[in-house]
Amino acid sequence: MTVTTDLVSYEDALASYDPVMGLEVHVELGTRTKMFCGCSTALGADANAQTCPTCLGLPGSLPVVNATGVESAIKIGLALNCEIAEWCRFARKNYFYPDMPKNFQTSQYDEPIAFNGYLDVQLEDGEVFRVEIERAHMEEDTGKSTHVGGATGRIHGASHSLLDYNRAGIPLIEIVTKPIEGAGERAPEVAKAYVAELREVIRSLDVSEARMDKGQMRCDVNLSLRPNGTEEFGTRSETKNVNSLRSVERAARFEIQRHAAVLSSGGTIVQETRHFHEDDGSTTSGRIKDNAEDYRYFPEPDLVPVAPAREWVEELRAGLPEMPRVRRNRLREQWGVTEHDMQSMLNAGAVDPIVATIDAGAPADQARKWWMGELARHANEQGKALDEMPITPVQVARVAELVAAGDLNDKLARQVIEGVLAGEGDPDKVVEKRGLKVVSDEGALTAAVEEAIAGNQAIADKIRGGKVAAAGALVGAVMKATRGQADAARVKELILEKLGVEG
């Protein structure tokens, strides 16, 4: 970005001002069909292949509400401790945009399906911060414009634009927080932790993959500052479509520094939308924000109201899974690990594979060790997520079992994992094919030990003289001779025994 913006240091900004935030998160639901028509939501189809008169807004077409979409919205509302409306409607939000063929977005306005909730998020130091939820409402996604012929892919400088309406009408849930006050210098951290926790909740409900990198979840960061010690909110800016956790944190931080610079030099903040730039973490001005009245909201006349039966709502409530934070704390205690270790496992996407590996019979420490060690390393090298690695929890559990039984040592186990990842089959198959077995035949081991002693008399003498630490070199020689297939601890015992030394 060539635009330079005046900033004050983060510390100076916080010394004078108190940040207030509002987070609006859009989640694309994983329903099979769109919100108001039967078109498929599958990705990867040819442009405009998944459209019909309804999602193209052709005259005379009539929308129908997707029941699964409503169900997902209620589940999200319940998981966020919201009240669920007994009766609510859709509303038309009127504005013109080329990627929105109806010239209005079917959304909800003053009658959202869920309202008045909260989500507790855990910060890095373990403290829990409660973020209050204003509402969660149902709406639909827009199509997608591609600007062609320019250098930047932006409309500016493009020769023409292409429109793909496959995404138009895919169900969205918009979750809006109440103003978040009292986070102080931790406001950016709270923003990131909130979006991260929300993502976990959405995933646990199985209503969306909520992949930010795929645009299935995106966040608008509203931010304002007020002088420390005052009550009244300042004017907010709204940084749109921030699409990674790290960017949410950076956007909030940048806006705090920018607002402080404007305010402390006597300027005023204009209420506007802003774009976030990944490259340098800055934001730049978008458009002056419309007020709600400019959208001429009115109740959607083509759709019946949504009045979810209380029995249905209670059934959905009873079927909610254990909430991610509760589950994390339970696992942390069961596994006896620190908050920090738990966080690392979470960041690595290792928690679910580890749980599945334990369910398949592996001891917890073994399951953690293989996923967070060897497999995380391979995944990292290949730029893949852990759950994309071609190995199953059942296979990892089998490796752990072979180690526990003494059939494999760690070194051999790593080779087995390598074999499974290379497509050589199940662990037992790899063991057989590669001939990987710990030599536990005492006769063979003793022979190897004797050979090592004979070949390294000087070292053997040192050990006899009391330098037990020198045994490492002989253990190494035996391991080499057995191609790493001996149990190193047993080898050391045998060496000391042969040399008549106490271990």
* Residue 221: closest CA among 172, 268, 286, 299: 286
Rule CB under 6 A: is residue 237 a binding residue for ligand ADP? no
Residue 31 near which of Mg ion, Zn ion, ligand ADP, none (CB within 5-8 Å, type-dependent)? none
Q: How far is the CB of 222 from Mg ion (least distance, A)?
A: 7
Residue 37 near which of Zn ion, ligand ADP, Mg ion, none (CB within 5-8 Å, type-dependent)? Zn ion
Q: How far is the CB of 142 from Mg ion (least distance, A)?
A: 14
- Considering only the stretches 39-47, 198-206, 221-229, 477-485, report the one whose residues sit in contact with Zn ion under the rule CB under 5 A: 39-47
Classify burial at 126, counting beta carbons within 10 Å of its beta carbon; exposed 0-12, middle 13-18, buried 19 or more. exposed
Scan residues 43-102 and list those touching Zn ion (CB under 5 A). 52, 54-55
Q: How many residues bind Mg ion (CB under 5 A)?
A: 1
Pair 198, 133: CB distance under 8 Å: no
* Residue 1: closest CA among 235, 393, 281, 332: 281
Q: How many residues bind ligand ADP (CB under 6 A)?
A: 16
Of 7, 22, 142, 378, the one binding ligand ADP (CB under 6 A) is 22
How far, CA to CA in Å, does 438 sit from each of 373, 407, 498?
A: 21, 5, 21
Closer of 73 and 313 to ligand ADP (Cβ): 73
Of 224, 247, 282, 409, the one binding ligand ADP (CB under 6 A) is 224
Rounded Cα gap, residues 172 and 210, in angstroms: 11
Rule CB under 5 A: is residue 24 a binding residue for Mg ion? yes
Rule CB under 6 A: is residue 236 a binding residue for ligand ADP? yes
Residue 390 near which of ligand ADP, Zn ion, Mg ion, none (CB within 5-8 Å, type-dependent)? none
Rule CB under 5 A: is residue 39 a binding residue for Zn ion? yes
Q: Mind giving me the DSSP string for 70-85?
A: HHHHHHHHHHTT-EE-
The full length of the chain comes to 503
Q: In one letter, which amino acid is 229?
A: G
Read off the tokens for 7. Answer: 């900033």
Rule CB under 6 A: is residue 222 a binding residue for ligand ADP? yes
Q: How far is the CB of 375 from Mg ion (least distance, A)?
A: 40
Q: In one letter, which amino acid is 133?
A: I
| Cβ neighbours, 10 Å, residue 183 | 21
* Residue 236: closest CA among 221, 223, 220, 247: 223
Closer of 146 and 285 to Mg ion (Cβ): 285
Residue span 24-53 as binding mask against ligand ADP, x where in contact by CB under 6 A, dash where not: x-----------------------------
DSSP helix, strand, coil percent of the chain (3-state; round to 5): 40, 20, 40
Rounded Cα gap, residues 193 and 122, in angstroms: 7
Scan residues 238-267 and list those touching ligand ADP (CB under 6 A). 238
Rule CB under 5 A: is residue 71 a binding residue for Mg ion? no
Cβ contacts of 158 within 8 Å, gap of 6 or more: 147, 148, 149, 150
Closer of 75 and 167 to Zn ion (Cβ): 167
Q: How far is the CB of 287 from Mg ion (least distance, A)?
A: 12
Residue 176 near which of Mg ion, Zn ion, ligand ADP, none (CB within 5-8 Å, type-dependent)? ligand ADP
- Considering only the stretches 21-29, 103-111, 179-187, 388-396, report the one whose residues sit in contact with Mg ion under the rule CB under 5 A: 21-29
Q: How far is the CB of 357 from Zn ion (least distance, A)?
A: 42
Q: How far is the CB of 176 from Mg ion (least distance, A)?
A: 8
Read off the tokens for 335. Answer: 């596994």
Scan residues 436-475 and list those touching Mg ion (CB under 5 A). none
Q: Which residue is nearest to ligand ADP (CB)?
A: 22
Rule CB under 5 A: is residue 111 a binding residue for Mg ion? no
Q: In one letter, which amino acid is 151?
A: A
Rounded Cα gap, residues 253 and 260, in angstroms: 11
Q: Mind giving me the DSSP string for 105-134?
A: EEE-SSS-SEEEEEEEEE-TTS-EEEEEEE
Closer of 24 and 426 to Mg ion (Cβ): 24
Q: How far is the CB of 222 from ligand ADP (least distance, A)?
A: 3
Rule CB under 5 A: is residue 272 a binding residue for Mg ion? no
Q: What are phi and psi of 241, to 5 degrees?
A: 50, 50
Cβ contacts of 316 within 8 Å, gap of 6 or more: 71, 74, 75, 78
Q: How far is the CB of 86 from ligand ADP (least distance, A)?
A: 23
Rounded Cα gap, residues 70 and 76, in angstroms: 10
Rule CB under 6 A: is residue 21 a binding residue for ligand ADP? yes
Q: How many residues bind Zn ion (CB under 5 A)?
A: 5
Q: Judging by DSSP bridges, how do beta strands 272-277 and 282-288 pair with one another?
A: antiparallel
Of 20, 351, 362, 417, the one binding ligand ADP (CB under 6 A) is 20
Q: How far is the CB of 271 from Mg ion (least distance, A)?
A: 11
Q: How far is the CB of 180 from ligand ADP (least distance, A)?
A: 7
Scan residues 106-165 and list those touching ligand ADP (CB under 6 A). 134
Pair 144, 164: CB distance under 8 Å: yes
Read off the tokens for 400. Answer: 């752990």
Which residues contact Mg ion by CB under 5 A?
24
Which residues contact Zn ion by CB under 5 A?
37, 39, 52, 54-55
Which residues contact ligand ADP by CB under 6 A?
20-24, 134, 176-179, 222-224, 233, 236, 238
